[in-house]
Structure formats: C-alpha cells, structure tokens
Amino acid sequence: MDRIIFKKGLQNKFLFEIKLASSLNNKELGNLCSVHGHTIGDWMKESSSMPFDIADKLSQKFNIDLPDYRVESSSQRLSRAGKIGGRARFEKYGILGDIESRRRGGTNSQIIHKLLGTDFKQRKKIKNIRRSLDLAEFIGIMLGDGGIANYHISISLNSSTDLKYSAYVVRLSEKLFGLKARKYFREKTCLNVCIAGVGLVEYLIGQGLSHNKVADQVGVPLWITNEINYRRACLKGLIDTDGSVYVDRHKGLKHNYASVCLDFSNRSLPLLDFVYDTLVLFDLHPRKYKFSIKLRKAADVVKYFEKIGSSNAKHKDRYKFFRKKYGEVA
C-alpha cells in the first residue's frame, strides 16, 4: 500500500485541520477511515505514516489541501528499511562472512548431514498470494483460533462440533496457499488443522500476525480494515472460530426471558475493537464487555446471519434451532 510522506510537522497539521473541519474526535475519524482511533492518534504524533488513499479521501471530503508531500510505495519502504538494518548490522558486527567462510560452512554442513544420515529440508513453495475475501476470512480464522510456530501454523477446533468446519478450513487453506493441510486429533475433544511451511509462517507474520496474539495485542491488517467487504469476511472468520451462539436468559419484573445471543470473546483488545466497530458498520447494536462483544437482541442476531453469514455449520445449526424455538425478536 502506498504511503504519503509529509515534511516533519505537516502530517499533524493536516490532520488537525481535518478534525477542525469535521468536528470529529479520533474515534469518529477512525471509523470514517476504517481504522482504530488509536491509529489516528499515532498519525497525529507522526509515529507512523498514513496510507495515501486515506489522506487523499480526507482531503477531498473536507476540502483541505494536502501540504508538501511525496508518495512512497511498499517496495521503497522495504528497501529503505533494509538499508537501515544493513548499515546497523555492519556497524555492530562488521563483515559477517566472505566467499571462503561460506564455502567452508557449506562443506561442513554436507559432512554432518552425511554422518547423521539426514538430508536438507527445502522450503515449501506457496502460491502467489493475493488479497481476497477468502484470504481475509482465513486471517480472521487465524486471529480467532490460530497458532503460529516456527515452521508451521495450526487452527485448533473442537473434534466433535467443528468436524464439518475443519473440512472447510482444510479446503480454504489449500486453495489459498497450495500447501497440504492435515488434521490431527488431540485428546478427546481437540482437533488441529496444521499446515507446514516456513514461507507461510513468514507471510502471516508479515501480515502482522504473531506467535502470541494476546501478549502482542495483535490487530487486523489495515488492508482488511480499509475495505468493508474484507471486513465482513474477516469478521466471519473471527466469529466462526472464537464466537458462540447460545440462549441468553434474563429476568424481567414479571417474566423470565430467553432469546438467541451471539458472543465473541478474546483477550486481544484490538480484535475486540475491530469486531465491535465492524458490527456497528453493518447497522447492528453490539454491547461491549471487558473481554467480549455480544449481540443480545435476537433481531440483531438474525441480521448478522443475513448480512455476515457463517461458514461454520455448528453456528448455523444452533442459530436456526434457537430462532425457531425462541422467535426472531425478544
């Protein structure tokens, strides 16, 4: 994604003028740009640069001219970061190896492999990955119940209730990456869908995913948050894995009530914010709790399955059963 690079101080000045013209706070401006309010704050502090398309959209919407700037592509940013890292490494360690030292290292490695009867492991090639609704949904699945190790990724599911869904996850991952996905049953209730490949691990880490999403407070990639249909697909993946459909029972003054409820629970606060904001974008009325987001109105749950949908048969079956039993509106 192309980034807009302002001279120092001008990005803050531009956003300040946008906020004056729009009368929006950071959270409201973030909703308009399909980013978190904290991101707006980071842009105002100039700790990160803005996507060009967002800056251009704000400029046109509020008739604020873009100050002196240049546009930097993703490849230019990577090249610049690589040069900075290379210089820092050289200053710290000097030359790390020459042709002769690399030749000796390769020879010694071949000798050791021969003695141990092992062989070299080749990196598995993955398909040329393009942004798509399927990829956005898969990233939602990974952010929900996925795990990333050094050499493989896995999605943890229930071996009984998610059995049909596991077949869907296998088909989706093989379609996206061209790598063989395998299912492993652990204990009595756990099923893991595993895909081996260092290239895939590196790709997902590059998308902002992490080995520990809670400790790192991982959020959703910007290319997803910036496009409403990608948001829908990612939200579906998140709730298909980390969501639940159940009967919400509550007491009234004269009667007890029961209605179908949809819940998303997670300890990554950026993910909770993404789910809440996306549900609001689709005219739903979520309630935010410490580590969960709920749709407690049956009418909202009906609208969720109509607008967002689900690839998990478990959720769809429970929704249909509870809707039939308790009605559409509570």
What digits encode the pLDDT tens for the residues 152-168?
A: 999 999 989 999 999 99
CATH number of 3-72: 1.10.260.40
pLDDT of residue 174: 93
Average pLDDT over residues 7-36: 89
pLDDT of residue 115: 62
Cβ within 8 Å of residue 248, ≥6 positions away? 258, 259, 260, 261, 294, 296, 330
- For the sheet containing 190-196, what is the strand order? 146-148, 152-158, 190-196, 181-186
Average pLDDT over residues 14-30: 89
Lowest mean pLDDT, pick from 111-115, 191-195, 201-205, 216-220: 111-115
Average pLDDT over residues 17-26: 88
**How far apart are alpha carbons 70 and 77 in whole angstroms?**
13
pLDDT of residue 169: 96
pLDDT at 252 over 90: no
pLDDT of residue 330: 40
- Work out the number of other CB atoms within 10 angstroms of the CB of residue 214: 12
CA dihedral over 153, 157, 163, 166, signed as positive or negative: negative
Of the candidates 205, 214, 222, which has an alpha carbon nearest to the alpha carbon of residue 268? 214
Of the candidates 228, 226, 208, which has an alpha carbon nearest to the alpha carbon of residue 56? 226
Report which of residues 56 and 87 the model is more confident about: 56
Answer yes or no: same fold for 3-72 and 133-218: no
Q: How many residues does the chain have?
A: 330
Average pLDDT over residues 123-138: 86
pLDDT in tens, 140-196: 999 999 999 988 999 999 989 999 999 999 999 999 999 999 998 877 788 999 998
Query: Which ranges of the chain would DSSP assign to H, the alpha helix?
Result: 10-22, 26-33, 37-45, 52-62, 74-93, 99-116, 133-145, 163-177, 198-206, 222-225, 228-242, 269-281, 298-307, 313-326
pTM flag (> 0.75): no
Q: Provide the 3-class DSSP secondary structure of residue 262.
A: strand
pLDDT of residue 320: 87
Q: Categorize the per-residue pLDDT at 136 as very low, low, confident or very high, splitting at 50, 70 and 90.
A: very high
Give the distance from CA 11 to its chain's centroid. 27
pLDDT at 96 over 80: no
- Superfamily grouping for domain 228-326: Homing endonucleases (3.10.28.10)
pLDDT at 116 over 50: yes
Q: Quick one: CATH architecture of 133-218?
A: Roll (3.10)
**How far apart are alpha carbons 243 and 226 in whole angstroms?**
23
Lowest mean pLDDT, pick from 135-144, 219-228, 320-329: 320-329
Domain borders along the chain are: 3-72, 76-116, 133-218, 228-326
Contact 93, 100 (CB under 8 A): no
